[in-house]
A and B are shown apart, each in its own frame.
Chain A
């Protein structure tokens, strides 16, 4: 009964490759997010989608392209991977209820670029 799931959990790849991370939520939420957590555990929002439309696009290299085929899925494709892309990437989803925005996180994908 996983609420927010991501695949793969670990991803090890060479510099210059292209890779994708998939995210699915079964909570019926309208909004989904991608976050990057670096080695110091700082959490940085990358993208936010609401009902398949992009609403937040922080300063992220355009090598990163999110794709939302439907409300329950938000995938992240990364082109030409660089060493600095090594991090843990978290997907999250949320629904605003009574003014609250409680985000539910996936387990994370640890990306290592060699």
Chain B
């Protein structure tokens, strides 16, 4: 079945860029998503990318999609303490359901 994989932790220094990576298996995915979960809260949609795009930029966030390698990344420029959270990658399957990664916990070092 479809699968989405992410590494579980990423540690970066405040002010540096964070790059969170994700791989997926369903080549027919049309939309891929990044959700953010802050401590004690629910998930919030951060951004998404349509499969006919290679890149999407939104302020400090850059999403890169490599369809050939089925690789998605989220870059956060100038990482701040408020970016500490768990970031979930998800792909939409053919039944419009979301297949979720395990989440990457972003740890910010001062």
Contact = CB atoms under 8 A, between A and B. Distances in A.
A84 interface: no
A90 B41 CA distance: 10
B75 interface: no
A41 B103 contact: yes
Given A41-B105, A43-B103, A101 B96 contact: yes
Contacts of A42: 102-103
A49 interface: no
B44 interface: yes
Contact of B44 (A43, A96, A105): A105
Nearest to B33: A102
A66 interface: no
Interface of A: 4, 40-43, 45, 48, 56, 90, 92, 96, 99-108
A101 B86 contact: no
A41 B102 CA distance: 7
Given A42-B103, A43-B88, A108 B98 contact: no
Given A41-B37, A105-B43, 4 more contacts: A43-B43, A43-B100, A45-B98, A99-B92
